[in-house]
Amino acid sequence: MLVAIGVLLTWLAVRSGARLGTASAPFLGRYRFEISPLSLAAPAVAGAVLLVSRRGYLDSVRWWVIRLGSAAGLFAWAVSLALVDGLDGLTRSLTPDSYLGDVQDVGDDPLGYLRTFTSRNAEHTIATRGHPPGPVLVLWALQRIGITGHFGLAILVTAIGALAAPLVLSAVRDVSGEIAARHFFPVMVLAPYAVWLAVSMDAVVLTIAAAMTVAGLRATRHSGWTAAAWAVLAGLLLGVAALFSYSAGWLGLSIVGIYFARRRPALNLFSGLSVLIPVLLASLCGFAWTDGLAAAYADFGQRIEPERSALWWGLISVCALLLATGPVLYASIRKLRNTPGWPFMLGAAAAVLFSIGAGLARGGIEHAWLPFFPWLVVAAVAPEERGGPTPPAPLLLAGIGALTAVIIEAVLLTPW
């Protein structure tokens, strides 16, 4: 019902001639219909995951198998979705119009690139203008060590994004127990937003943020200097994530929520100070994070605000969110108060609500919100009543979400 309402709003926006700036609302890109023999790969992966879950195999295997299988499963799912367009489906985001188009500007002087990054913002590709220099520098470093082919880069970036799966499952296990984490396996592996996992550098931010969350949880499980060390690591990872995405900082609220829920407020000091270290190091190398944010916002105000209606995009971005997360989002929101994993949702929800309220959600949320999507659905495996038994894995909802992803990939061509 919610998706139908969102689609109706999107149709009304298109029919009324609203300023949307895209031919494929509620997403960016364009619509087309693509079916090939490789289109069978994604349904096969989804069927295998659902079958394994339905047979109860996930309840009996060792935990390390669950973690390894989640990474392999999410990688296979993301790649199988992208292969609808052949190998181009994996490499379409690595074009001269993307981050890769700015790698040549780094040359042999990455420090010089950092020093001029903000002042030359208008010369960057569209993808780079709205982000810190982290994505470009990572691609530059990968090329320096010999990974120069687009296919190799795409596989590596996808693999890094897939590592988020075992990290998210570990976080769910820490707060909700191992049974809940095992039941979250098909939800995480068959995520509809995997459509963009294989073609977006924001997948790297997703994994860094997931590692940050796990480090924050580890800090609360120890005391003394060991706890401080884990808290420092959580802060460092958040600082690194902020050098890839300006919006990643919102996930720091999740760490604050974790420390609050477990009555470890002193850990905020260690994480809060250490998050500044990567940002300050980047500043010493020539890139001031606040100046970069100001430049990105100025570019947004000049290039995007006049072309895309804030009112319409605020409404249809919710539709895009529902499609990208699948029906498990509704189940998660409905059972939010019953889960000890609410801190996970804190930072993600704050980022989404701020983006919409501030008029910044004007298309492209399918990749910009990629680091937030997994945390918004963690309550899908929460009990129906607080303190009640863990419900079975929501296989029907996960299956519908997987079908949504297959359809989106078949009819949508995005630049990510």
pLDDT tens-digit map of 261-277? 999 999 999 999 999 99
Partners of 413 in beta bridges: 30
Angle (nearest 5°) at CA 79 between 43 and 393? 50
Helix axes 395-411, 310-325, angle to 10 degrees: 120
57-71, 265-279, 293-307, 334-348: the lowest-pLDDT one: 293-307
Element (H, E) at 2: helix 2-15
- Res. 381 pLDDT band, cuts 50 70 90: very high
Give the range among 23-27, 69-73, 93-97, 205-209 with minimum mean pLDDT.
93-97
Task: Say how far apart CA 310 and CA 396 lie, in whole Å.
Answer: 35
From CA 77, how far away is CA 405, in angstroms rounded?
A: 10
C-alpha closest to that of 236 among 209, 261, 203, 207: 209
Taking the model in full, what pTM does it have?
0.93
pLDDT tops 80 at residue 20: no
Please indicate whether residue 281 or residue 15 has the higher confidence score (pLDDT).
281
Q: Give the Cα separation of 84 and 86 in Å (integer).
A: 6
**Using one digit for the tens of pLDDT, what is the confidence trace for 229-246?**
999 999 999 999 999 999
Q: Could you report the per-residue pLDDT of 24-44, keeping only the tens digit for each? A: 778 887 888 888 888 899 999
CA-closest candidate to residue 138, choices 214, 238, 280, 240? 240
Query: How many angstroms separate the CA atoms of 151 and 124, rounded?
Result: 23
Residue 134 near residue 244, CB atoms below 8 Å: yes
Q: What integer pLDDT is reported at residue 222 of this predicted model?
A: 94
Beta pairing class for 412-413 and 30-31: antiparallel
Which of 110-119, 138-147, 207-216 is most confident?
207-216
Query: CB–CB of 388/183 below 8 Å?
Result: no
Tell me the per-residue pLDDT of 341-373, one tens digit each, with 9 for 90 and over. Answer: 999 999 999 999 998 888 778 778 888 899 999
**What pLDDT score does 402 carry?**
96
Amino acid found at 414: T
- State how far the Cα of 266 lies from the Cα of 330, in Å rounded to an integer: 35
Q: How does residue 96 score in pLDDT terms, banded at 50, 70 and 90?
A: low
User: Which helix (H) or strand (E) element contains residue 66?
Assistant: helix 63-82
CA 28-372-291 angle, to 5 degrees, is 75
